[in-house]
Structure 1
């Protein structure tokens, strides 16, 4: 793995945000208006196995807001929107393919040491390790991708639902 560009302070904050240690963070891709990590980029392997999450939403406020959307059945709703709009469907397929390309670029120096099976899985699975690009596994992953500037139609829809992508600063004081 390339040497991560995440400070020890950021790693401590990310651990508090997620409630667990993150051992494959490469860098903080997006920060909130208060300077805390919102999205991290993860190394595509963890413990020698494919790690399907390239962009990981870490902000507790946003994680909670997106979880509420999932609880309201928005995954199914957004899947229908995407499936009924050929342009959005093509954008979604492109988003998956671009993430695969980014993942493989990160792994360029390590491909010779990986099994053909792992390489195949990394090349065939999109955002969040999904194989069927017309379905949605998790809104958090798509929203994280969108927040870092990727052209992700699911993330863009999530952003419209949420409206405000930062918390009241009093919530950040816990970090």
Structure 2
């Protein structure tokens, strides 16, 4: 993970999703970092290919399009609200942090704000849990089914 991000990881409690080769794709992070900082992003996207794909999507109009889907489709909106609650429930296992109570990530439950967070949640929770995260992964040029890692399994050089 250090090699993926170029810095040490903080507050990681586990690997929430892996590339098909075994390298980390998403980590689960404590809701309060070791230095005391509240950290609402429980599912943190670490895979360079995935993060690049989400950055590329964010640079296009896709966030506006996904926001329109959320606004226009009641079923997607309900599933997105349920994803928000699932996210909060997953994070609560690692402690309650009053400063971030009710705050999940990526704009949930009513906006599309950060595709990295939404894709991370979708990868960690599996298909069908976060509809906007699923759509972002479908529209990106990276796939969790295809390894694009530059390093051998485990991140060793």
TM-score by length of 2: 0.85
Match of 2:135 in 1: 157
In structure 1, the partner of 2:5 is 18
CA contact (8 A) 2:26 2:45 kept: yes
Larger-Rg structure: 1
CA contact (8 A) 1:40 1:58 kept: yes
Q: Which runs of 5+ in 1 are unaligned?
A: 1-13, 112-117
Instruction: Provide the residue aligned with 1:6 in structure 2.
Output: none
The answer to whether the 8 Å contact 1:66/1:158 transfers is yes
CA deviation map 1:69-107 (0-9, x unaligned): 001121121111111100100111111112112222211
TM-score under structure 1 normalisation? 0.77
CA RMSD, Structure 1 to Structure 2 (Å): 2.0
Does the 8 Å contact 1:100/1:122 carry over to 2?
Answer: no
Instruction: Find runs of 4+ consecutive structure 1 residues off by over 4 angstroms.
Output: none
CA contact (8 A) 1:54 1:103 kept: yes
Could you tell me how far 1:168 is from its partner in structure 2? 3.3
* More helix as a share of residues: 1
1:67 alignment counterpart: 55
Conserved in 2, the CA contact under 8 Å of 1:56 and 1:144? yes
Q: Distance in 2 between matches of 1:125 and 1:153?
A: 18
Higher relative contact order (CA 8 A, sep 6+): 2
Q: Is 1:31 paired with 2:18?
A: yes
**Equivalent-residue separation in structure 2 for 1:57 and 1:50 (angstroms):** 18
Residue-pair matches, total:
149
1:1-175 correspondence to structure 2 within 5 Å: 14-46=1-33, 47-107=35-95, 118-119=97-98, 121-128=99-106, 130=107, 133-150=109-126, 151-162=129-140, 164-165=143-144, 166-169=146-149, 171-172=150-151, 175=157
